[in-house]
């Protein structure tokens, strides 16, 4: 047990609101979908029942369609924009109207494997909800093949260069007046631009105006792109859900069919000119032509290849602290601007799972060591400059603390 372990546990307790965990105080004062799944993984290292509570509160917000929203507004907090009134989803408790990468089944499997007997009833109760969410992904968002997102926020990699071509087609000029809150909590230069926000809110307004109708949003919404990151997270999560279903004695052939269909769609997001997986604008067919961490999540889904290995080592060797979220040699790279270059410890931990499973324990160890150096220097920040490890975004961050606890073992 190290000093860093103690601090990580203290952060999870600090951000624990009783059944759900905030990503960080101030900047993100609600429950976020994939942050919460990582929190569960961290809690499982010292409080297994609390881990299941986290997954329960997340899945309790599921919509009748099966969609699981990306924010659950348990208690109104004026320090965040856009709040529940802007989303207008009519849910109780209020939620946003979009989703986030479906990492929950993968995290549920990791939590369950830490104490299978104690977790069996909790897992049995959660399983049908996870299944319904995966069905929603297959039926609503995989109709073009790979997983599609309708808002950059759904990718969880909000302002990465992958979305620039899709965002260029969103007219943010007629958005009503609003006040951002994020730039009051952290250095504005580390956050998305005003032009980004005008477009983010325009897409939210489209969803609200059509009553959050899935089909209208996919068919006519201002933004629709294939996301390699979400595709690989979903592909991996299908596999984990099938393992969980089998352990519970269920027939999992349908999940296996969803996974096979998704895997067979991967060539659609392989960009030969880039030598990597790439995001694609589904309104025009164009590739984004930028390399980012979404492509590297292929390793998590067992979909790596030697060309991707070459790209991975090129971008990784260009920095010193973990895998950068965007290509350091691209003009769009910014080492401290959110998803346009920084190194994200939670994503490094996810990639390390993929490396280990693909027989590259050496890469997983390098990634762990580089991530540990950032945490030792500055603590559990949201993300870091991959060139000099400068701490960025929010402090005392839940998923950074959570992954450290799992990684330290
Ligand atoms: C934010 O507010 O920056 C979030 O990432 C949106 O989910």
Within 209-361, strands assigned E span 225-226, 270-271, 276-277, 280-281
Q: Whose CA is nearest to atom 7 of ligand 1?
A: 153
CA neighbours closer than 13 Å in the CB half-sphere of residue 396: 18
Look-up: residue for tokens 């409080």?
47
CA distance 354 to 110: 14
Query: Which residue among 22, 28, 34, 87 is best mutated to probe the pocket of ligand 1, counting the most ligand atoms within 8 A of its Cβ?
Result: 28
**Can 158 be counted among the known catalytic residues?**
yes
Atom of ligand 1 at shortest range from CA of 70 = 7
Per-residue model confidence (pLDDT) at position 1? 53
CA distance 144 to 7: 44
Query: Which residue among 153, 204, 383, 394 is best mutated to probe the pocket of ligand 1, counting the most ligand atoms within 8 A of its Cβ?
Result: 153
- pLDDT tens for the 409 residues of the chain, in order: 579 999 999 999 999 999 999 999 999 999 999 999 999 999 999 999 999 999 999 999 999 999 999 999 999 999 999 999 999 999 999 999 999 999 999 999 999 999 999 999 999 999 999 999 999 999 999 999 999 999 999 999 999 999 999 999 999 999 989 999 999 999 999 999 999 999 999 999 999 999 999 999 999 999 999 999 999 999 999 999 999 999 999 999 999 999 999 999 999 999 999 999 999 999 999 999 999 999 999 999 999 999 999 999 999 999 999 999 999 999 999 999 999 999 999 999 999 999 999 999 999 999 999 999 999 999 999 999 999 999 999 999 999 999 999 996 6
The answer to whether the CB of 280 is under 6 A from ligand 1 is no
Is 342 within 8 Å of 324 (Cβ atoms)?
yes
The answer to whether the CB of 182 is under 6 A from ligand 1 is yes
Ligand 1 mean position, distance from CA 153 (Å): 6
Per-residue model confidence (pLDDT) at position 271? 98
Is 14 within 8 Å of 39 (Cβ atoms)?
no
Ligand 1 mean position, distance from CA 20 (Å): 17
Per-residue model confidence (pLDDT) at position 188? 96
Dihedral over alpha carbons 301, 307, 313, 316 (to 10 degrees): -60
Ligand 1 mean position, distance from CA 204 (Å): 12
The answer to whether the CB of 70 is under 6 A from ligand 1 is yes
Ligand 1 mean position, distance from CA 210 (Å): 22
The answer to whether the CB of 113 is under 6 A from ligand 1 is no
Interhelix angle 3-14/398-407, nearest 10 degrees? 140
**Cα distances (Å, whole numbers) of residue 300 to 205, 229, 295:** 34, 10, 10
**Cα distances (Å, whole numbers) of residue 35 to 29, 138, 154, 162, 170:** 12, 22, 13, 21, 27
Tokens for 314? Answer: 């090129």
The answer to whether the CB of 153 is under 6 A from ligand 1 is yes
Q: Helix or strand or coil: residue 120? A: helix
Q: Whose CA is nearest to atom 4 of ligand 1?
A: 153
Give all domains of the chain, ordered by start, each with its CATH number.
3-407 (1.50.10.10)
Is 15 within 8 Å of 398 (Cβ atoms)?
yes
Strand partners for 72: 31, 95
Per-residue model confidence (pLDDT) at position 230? 99
The answer to whether the CB of 154 is under 6 A from ligand 1 is no
Sign of CA dihedral 10, 16, 18, 21: negative
**Can 382 be counted among the known catalytic residues?**
yes
Look-up: residue for tokens 């690989």?
232
What are the residues whose beta carbons fall under 8 Å from the beta carbon of 248, sequence distance 6 or more?
Answer: 120, 123, 124, 127
Per-residue model confidence (pLDDT) at position 193? 96
Nearest alpha carbon to residue 134 among 172, 91, 104, 178: 104
Is 322 within 8 Å of 343 (Cβ atoms)?
yes
Per-residue model confidence (pLDDT) at position 88? 98
What DSSP character marks residue 276?
Answer: E
Q: Is 289 left (phi over 0), alpha (psi -120 to 50) or beta?
A: left
ipTM above 0.95, yes or no: no
Query: Which residue among 158, 178, 338 is best mutated to probe the pocket of ligand 1, counting the most ligand atoms within 8 A of its Cβ?
Result: 158
């Amino acid at each position: 047990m190290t000093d860093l372990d103690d601090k990580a546990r203290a952060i999870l307790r600090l951000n624990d609101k009783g059944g759900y965990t905030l990503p960080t105080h101030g900047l993100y004062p609600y429950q976020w979908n994939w942050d919460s799944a990582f929190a569960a993984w961290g809690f499982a290292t010292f409080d297994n029942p609390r881990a299941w509570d986290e997954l329960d509160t997340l899945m309790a917000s599921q919509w009748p369609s099966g969609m699981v929203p990306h924010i659950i507004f348990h208690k109104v907090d004026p320090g965040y924009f856009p709040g529940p009134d802007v989303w207008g989803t009519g849910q109780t408790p209020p939620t946003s109207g979009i989703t986030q990468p479906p990492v929950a089944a993968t995290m549920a499997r990791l939590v369950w494997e830490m104490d299978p007997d104690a977790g069996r009833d909790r897992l049995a109760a959660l399983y049908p909800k996870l299944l319904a969410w995966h069905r929603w992904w297959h039926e609503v968002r995989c109709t073009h093949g790979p997983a599609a997102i309708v808002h950059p926020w759904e990718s969880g990699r909000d302002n990465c260069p992958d979305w620039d071509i899709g965002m260029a087609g969103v007219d943010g000029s007629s958005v009503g007046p609003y006040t951002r809150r994020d730039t009051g909590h952290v250095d504005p230069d580390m956050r998305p631009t005003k032009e980004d926000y005008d477009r983010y809110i325009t897409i939210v307004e489209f969803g609200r105006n059509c009553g959050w109708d899935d089909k209208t949003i996919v068919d006519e919404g201002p933004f629709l792109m294939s996301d390699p990151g979400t595709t690989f997270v979903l592909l991996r999560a299908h596999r984990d859900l099938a393992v969980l279903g089998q352990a519970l004695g269920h027939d999992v052939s349908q999940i296996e069919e969803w996974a096979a269909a998704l895997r067979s769609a991967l060539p659609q997001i392989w960009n030969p000119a880039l030598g990597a997986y790439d995001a694609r604008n589904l309104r025009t067919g164009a590739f984004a032509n930028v390399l980012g961490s979404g492509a590297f999540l292929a390793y998590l889904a067992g979909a790596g290849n030697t060309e991707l290995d070459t790209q991975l080592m090129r971008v990784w060797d260009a920095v010193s602290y973990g895998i950068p979220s965007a290509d350091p040699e691209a003009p769009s790279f910014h080492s401290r601007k959110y998803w346009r270059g920084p190194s994200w410890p939670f994503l490094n931990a996810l990639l390390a799972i993929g490396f280990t499973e693909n027989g590259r324990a050496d890469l997983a160890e390098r990634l762990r060591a580089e991530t540990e150096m950032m945490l030792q220097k500055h603590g559990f920040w949201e993300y870091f400059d991959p060139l000099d490890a400068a701490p960025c975004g929010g402090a005392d961050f839940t998923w950074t603390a959570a992954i450290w606890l799992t990684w330290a073992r």
